[in-house]
Structure 1
Amino acid sequence: MRGDIVIAGVGHTAHGKLPDRSTTSMNVEACRKALADAGVEKGMVDGLFVKYPTSQHRSMYGQIVAEALGIQPRIGGVWDQGGATNISMISFAAMAIEQGQCEVALVTIADNPRTGTRQAYERAWGEDDVYGWFGTPAGYAMIARRHMEEFGTTHEQLGAIAVAARRHGANNPDAQLRKPLTLEEYAVSRPVVEPLRRDDCCLISDGGAAVVVMSAERARSLKVDAAVPILGFGQGQTSWEVAQRPSLTETAAAVSGRTAFEMAGLAPKDIQVAQLYDCFTITPLMTLEDYGFCAKGEGGRFVEDGAIEIGGALPVNTSGGLLSETGMPGMQLVIEGVRQIRGTSTNQVPGATTSLVSNQGGIMHTHSTLILGA
């Protein structure tokens, strides 16, 4: 399948606080923009893959979105792997297209935890309340603390990830938070759950985003101007709750990344820019390790001294990621990956021909990987 399926169009709403916007309306807006970007009429869409909204889950939500779009897809529905859902849905769409189950698919996400309810982020996960853990940050704090104890990872190394994301986001006109951050400012930001500080934690955002997926052959026949080939994808699932895992410093990114690299026929050394899920700073650090960009335990040293900033060895989250562009879980990273291959990013990596994107769900429960190429 390598290169046989493409992302033909991308679209998104504004990011941040969008009062009085339903998740349905944001999905429709994002899909409309993605179709316009691809130059495709909605009547051609026969696949619809929708991420469930964490702030307001509704039964048959995929059908609600289809009705609002005015389409009747052959295949579709709602998927839930947390933040890993977006890339997973793109891979499901790609496989459906490859097998002739649909020809043109919309993959879309919208949520409004900023102005709706953020209960999904505040409640205990599983039986976490038994350990006194409430809210999403608690589990990540335990993982970060274990990584620090096991490998000597420092606050300053986590801060380097926050500084890079905020520097990139400050140059992105669509970013929710356009304020650069220094390591000194990071060091005095308030603690949330030790060892995580405020600037280790992603934004809470309303918004929607969508992509159009089709075969490369169909894109050529439709004369799509800027279709981006999908070279590889993969998934991995830890599944167990944090307290039940045999190791807190290994993630399903290892399985997901290996699958994607094998499919693409590439290795980490071939990747020129990466968009890594950064719900908390510890997440991209461990993802870099598990993808093989560095050895286990060396992620902290890998991100130091501007190595993941524009001009560094591996620019990461060039639109600002979840820490600066939008906390909306994951599709914005795919869109920035597409922009990098198209050469249209506001923080363009010169000559980028390979772009890796990671998505991660829950408290490192699920992982999905996408590799795009020119």
Structure 2
Amino acid sequence: MAGALPRKVAVVGVALSDTGRVDDLTPYALHAQAARRALADSGLDRSVVDGFGSAGLGTLAPVEVAEYLGLRPTWLDSTGVGGATWEVMAAHAADAIALGHANAVLLVYGSTARADIKAGRRTSNLSFGGRGPLQFEVSYGHTLIAKYAMAARRHMHQYGTTVEQLAEVAVQARANAGANPDAMFRDPITVDDVLSGPVIADPFTKLHCCVRSDGGCAVLLAAEEYVADCAKSPVWVLGSGMAMSHTTMSEWDDFTVSPAAVSGRIAFERAGVRASDVDIAEIYDAFTYMTLVTLEDLGFCGKGEGGAFVEKGRLLRDGALPVNTDGGGLSACHPGMRGLFLIVEAVTQLRGEGGAGQVLKAGRLPELAVASGTGGWFCSSGTVVLGR
């Protein structure tokens, strides 16, 4: 996608399904609900949708989900790289539309992870790797959260980052969630609340970790010639980037650097902007350290400066750099893979539809947003730059 795109691409529809605690719907129903709402939001007829992307559900995802939705697309994607899946998939969709391989691509996600565990339909075991290279780590009880905790501890050791600074990320995410009626948790918390909670994996206590929720969302991307028929103002895809790092921890060159350092650089270069131009950032936050290190790697501050950067309310909706304006995975929702929610929230803010949680810059709507998803344990990254 280097240089000017042959055809401009816009996000023309976004929507959430029911989110939070959803005990009466299946994941398929959440997909359908989000898809219908996103199409309604766009004002386009479903007949224009000739591309479809989905991951994480169905025997032949996205074929099974598309069939459930009554779609027969001629362009498909089922990329699976963890939490970065949706930014990577959005980049694939934008490229396909730009080149004329599709005209309108619907991306849909839905999960009842919380309800399934509550009902005993699945376990909450977060270990990975019975075969392949990961087998050499899993025998030591090296769960997903343990990998993130190790990386956070390395950053703390190397740069003097404190657990209080990590806690600030959770506190500000919760404050942002306070204005979001769809957020799972909205009551304010303090740094002391975060630090005094039960330890899950040192240095993370419970409030350093994302919520477990149900929910889904959908994003519709379309070629520029469809924009005139849409119900809402377009949000343009300006640039994207993707990168991978490792799966085995011993193959990770530096625990303090995520693949967002590469995906972000590529996305900003392709968009022709710099991090300093960005008004809002929607960043994958399964754990507080993810937000801090991704901010560094995207270039919002220098390497090792993330701890100081997140202090003094900088990430709040009215802060210097509003981050995770809906409350993020730490407070709003996290049903398994959160990457598509980042794009939904970025578009919502750029349109000025954030309600009580709307970000204003000197009384004006934000012009530029970045959505950056992380997969695995900093294994993959996808970054998308969006603009009004």
Category of TM-score, reference length = shorter chain: over 0.9
Stretch of structure 1 that moved more, 1-10 or 292-301? 1-10
Query: Secondary structure of the equivalent of 2:89?
Result: helix
Question: Deviation digits for residues 251-295 of structure 1, max 9, x if unmatched?
Answer: 110110001100110001101111111110000100011111111
Contact 1:63 1:77 in 2 (8 A): no
Distance 2:202 2:68 in 1: 44
Q: What is residue 311 of structure 2 aligned with on the other side?
A: 304
Q: Structure 1 residue 87 and structure 2 residue 60: aligned?
A: no
Contact 2:280 2:322 in 1 (8 A): yes
Stretch of structure 1 that moved more, 85-94 or 20-29? 20-29
Partner residue of 1:349 out of 356, 359, 377: 359
Contact 1:49 1:107 in 2 (8 A): yes
Stretch of structure 1 that moved more, 44-53 or 315-324? 44-53
Contact 1:48 1:77 in 2 (8 A): yes
Query: Secondary structure of the equivalent of 1:181?
Result: coil
Query: Secondary structure of the equivalent of 1:61?
Result: coil
Gaps of 5+ in 2: none
Q: Structure 1 residue 361 and structure 2 residue 371: aligned?
A: no
* Aligned-pair CA distance for 1:62: 1.2
Partner residue of 2:38 out of 22, 34, 40: 34
Q: TM-score, normalised by structure 2?
A: 0.91
Stretch of structure 1 that moved more, 63-72 or 18-27? 18-27
Superposition pairs of residues 273-352 of structure 1, within 5 angstroms: 273-328=280-335, 329-346=338-355, 347-350=357-360, 351=364, 352=366
Distance 2:236 2:128 in 1: 40
Which letter maps to 2:61? Y
Partner residue of 2:279 out of 272, 275, 279: 272
Q: Structure 1 residue 239 and structure 2 residue 253: aligned?
A: no
Q: What is residue 169 of structure 2 aligned with on the other side?
A: 161
* Aligned-pair CA distance for 1:124: 3.3
Distance 2:110 2:284 in 1: 17
* Aligned-pair CA distance for 1:98: 1.3
Change (3 A) 1:18 1:190: same
Which letter maps to 1:66? A
Distance 1:263 1:246 in 2: 26
* Aligned-pair CA distance for 1:35: 0.2
State the percentage of identical aligned residues: 37
- How big is the alpha-carbon RMSD for the aligned residues of Structure 1 and Structure 2? 1.5
Q: What is residue 5 of structure 1 aligned with on the other side?
A: 9
Contact 1:202 1:324 in 2 (8 A): yes
Distance 1:11 1:349 in 2: 19
* Aligned-pair CA distance for 1:113: 1.2
* Aligned-pair CA distance for 1:224: 3.8
Distance 1:184 1:114 in 2: 27
Distance 2:99 2:225 in 1: 14
Query: Secondary structure of the equivalent of 1:213?
Result: strand
Question: Deviation digits for residues 64-87 of structure 1, max 9, x if unmatched?
Answer: 111111111011142201110111
Contact 1:164 1:309 in 2 (8 A): yes
Which letter maps to 2:42? A
Question: Deviation digits for residues 303-328 of structure 1, max 9, x if unmatched?
Answer: 01111112221111111000111013
Q: What is residue 221 of structure 2 aligned with on the other side?
A: 213
Change (3 A) 1:39 1:12: same
Q: What is residue 69 of structure 1 aligned with on the other side?
A: 69
Stretch of structure 1 that moved more, 197-206 or 243-252? 243-252
Contact 2:18 2:30 in 1 (8 A): no
Distance 2:65 2:313 in 1: 42
Stretch of structure 1 that moved more, 359-368 or 304-313? 304-313
Query: Secondary structure of the equivalent of 1:174?
Result: coil
Q: Structure 1 residue 256 and structure 2 residue 287: aligned?
A: no
Query: Secondary structure of the equivalent of 1:123?
Result: coil
Contact 2:81 2:376 in 1 (8 A): yes
The runs of at least 4 aligned residues of structure 1 exceeding 6 Å deviation read none
Question: Deviation digits for residues 206-255 of structure 1, max 9, x if unmatched?
Answer: 111101000122212x2442221111111011133223312111111011
Query: Secondary structure of the equivalent of 1:327?
Result: coil
Distance 1:11 1:244 in 2: 38
Distance 1:244 1:261 in 2: 27
Contact 2:241 2:382 in 1 (8 A): yes
Q: TM-score, normalised by structure 1?
A: 0.95
Gaps of 5+ in 1: none
Which letter maps to 2:192? E
Change (3 A) 1:39 1:223: closer
Which letter maps to 1:18? V
Q: Structure 1 residue 23 and structure 2 residue 27: aligned?
A: yes
Distance 2:111 2:15 in 1: 15
